[in-house]
Amino acid sequence: MNILRVEKLSKSFGGLRAVDSVSLELARGEILGVIGPNGAGKTTLFSMIAGSLTPTSGSVYLQERRVSGLPANRVVRAGVVRTHQIVRPFNNLTVLENVMVAAMFGAVARGLQPRAVALEALSFVGLADRAQQYPHGLTLVGRKRLELARALATQPQALLLDEVIAGLNPVEAIEMTKLIRVIRDQRSISIIIIEHILAALMSISDRVAVLDYGKKIAEGKPAEVVKNPLVIEAYLGEPQKTGSESTSRSDGGPAQ
């Protein structure tokens, strides 16, 4: 059963078509990876699904409820929440208070106490002992875990993760990958993840969708997608006709 459905979603900025008629389906309990070179439209797609941007055309459905066009706070209350590449906590609030603010969006509507929800979310991501500290004292991985705790505190059905592994050292990346699996397995939350680190994304994704210049060019199991000629071309460029060298994209790999 699909928890989230994206139908022919498009976004134009003047004459630029950032996302061009992209359709996706996210099954209950599934992890869907989204990859593509710089400028492919991945973050714009996330922003439309989460309500931060209004689509030029197309629709987003959470189960059978249309959520596209709703403001971001109502999309969160409906059950769709995203994290951000650059974590921007409220630095004047404690770690616990940061998560309590997020919990207000989902916990209160479900008759739950924000403080209890926030404490449980912090414990889940391994930050219970940092609850009374301020965010500036956290390491990068700590701030990313705080971002995850804030998202989980909204009680989501669908979680959109935007580069939560990027920037971490190998050990931290492995631990974050394990945490993402635990979120899916123990909380039955369906996940869409954008990530720079392809090895990590491929290892945890049930399916992968590939964007290039705003269009979806491939979708399938990770092992199938990495062998797709269109995907190889998008990342490595077309071979030059007059020499053995290949023309590479200037961005050097996947990003937003």
Distance between CA atoms of residues 175 and 208, nearest Å: 21
Assigned domain for 177 exists: no
E strand residue ranges, 88-170: 158-162
Assigned domain for 48 exists: yes
Assigned domain for 221 exists: yes
Domain ranges, residue 15 = 1-70+189-256
Amino acid 240: pLDDT: 40
Assigned domain for 152 exists: no
Assigned domain for 253 exists: yes
Please name the residues in contact with 183: beta carbons below 8 A apart, sequence gap of 6 or more.
148, 152, 159, 189, 191
Give the domain CATH number at 24. Answer: 3.40.50.300
Assigned domain for 146 exists: no
- If one counts the domains in the chain, the total is 1
Burial grade of 150 (CB within 10 A; 0-12, 13-18, 19 or more)? buried
Beta pairing partners, 194: 34, 162
Q: Quick one: which H or E segment has residue 201? A: helix 198-204
Residues of the chain with pLDDT under 50: 239-256
Nearest to 90 by CA among 168, 16, 143, 31: 143
Assigned domain for 58 exists: yes
Amino acid 252: pLDDT: 40
Amino acid 239: pLDDT: 46
Amino acid 107: pLDDT: 66
Amino acid 155: pLDDT: 92
Nearest to 131 by CA among 157, 156, 94, 103: 94
Distance between CA atoms of residues 144 and 38, nearest Å: 22
Give the pTM: 0.88
Assigned domain for 34 exists: yes
Q: What is the DSSP string of 18-49?
A: EEEEEEEEEETT-EEEEE-BTTSSHHHHHHHH
Give the pLDDT confidence of 203-226 residue by residue, as tens digits. 999 999 999 999 999 999 999 999
Residue 178: count of CB within 10 angstroms of its CB? 11
Return mean pLDDT, the chain: 90
